[in-house]
Amino acid sequence: MTLSIIHYPHPTLQHRSRPIVRVDAKLRGMAAEMLELMYDNEGVGLAANQVDLPIRMFVANPSGERGEGEEWIVINPVIDRPKGSESGQEGCLSVPGVYAQVKRPKTVRLQGYDLQGNEINVELDGFLARVVQHEVDHLDGVMFFDRIGIEAKRDIEHALAEFETTFESLRNTGSIPDDAELARRLAEWEKAYT
């Protein structure tokens, strides 16, 4: 199948994804495809919501380069034990070109599973901790700019409005299905994997 990255304000970005209960060859293929999309678009992380899938899975590589750094595919991630607080710049493949400073815990614990069913249980800090928190937010339907103040939001308001205009015109031309059709598709995926 061919996945593509959806842009703000696509409704699936506001959808809270459900835990995965079934891993099959198709799901593994989707994870591999998500990594390819992430590298092709020069990202460091990509959540299933961003490719219009309502399932709790993300991929990441803080280096952003194929064959370098640490590649992550995480199923049913859970974050806890937040410590400290740090501000850092974030962008998102679902709103390319838009950046803002986001304050997040400096270190967190990540639990979840890899594609082989092995448990993941690690303390993360630095940039990887930020990336993982950003991706888990996506799975809960939260965008990075939902976490910034009114002042900072004002700086990116115009750019967001442009994405809204583009979305509306794609909808009007039928390139993006209506809400009922999108909901029907999400329900199908949820039935198959959650």
Q: Which is nearer to Zn ion, 47 or 176 (CB)?
A: 47
Residue of 134, 107, 136, 143 whose CA lies nearest to 122: 107
DSSP per-residue codes, the chain? -------TT-GGGG--PBPP----HHHHHHHHHHHHHHHHTT-SEEEGGGGT--BSEEEE-TT-STTSS--EEEEEEEEEEEE--EEEEE--TTSTT--EEEEE-SEEEEEEE-TTS-EEEEEEEHHHHHHHHHHHHHHTT--GGGGS-HHHHHHHHHHHHHHHHHHHHHHHTTSS--HHHHHHHHHHHHHHH-
The residue count for binding Zn ion (CB under 5 A) is 1
CB of 46 to Zn ion, least distance (A): 8
Question: Binding pattern to Zn ion, positions 137-166, x when CB under 5 A?
Answer: ------------------------------
Residues numbered 75-104 forming contacts with Zn ion, rule: CB under 5 A: 92
CB of 117 to Zn ion, least distance (A): 26
Say which of 36, 86, 135, 164 is annotated catalytic. 135
Judge whether 71 counts as a catalytic residue. no
Tokens of 133: 């928190």
Q: Is there a binding annotation on residue 7? A: no
Q: Is there a binding annotation on residue 134? A: yes
CB of 116 to Zn ion, least distance (A): 26
CB of 134 to Zn ion, least distance (A): 6
- For residue 192, the number of C-alpha atoms closer than 13 Å in the C-beta half-sphere is 14
48 contacts Zn ion (rule: CB under 5 A)? no
Q: Is there a binding annotation on residue 10? A: no
**Known binding-site positions for Fe cation:** 92, 134, 138
Give residues in contact with Zn ion (CB under 5 A).
92
> Catalytic residues, which ones?
135
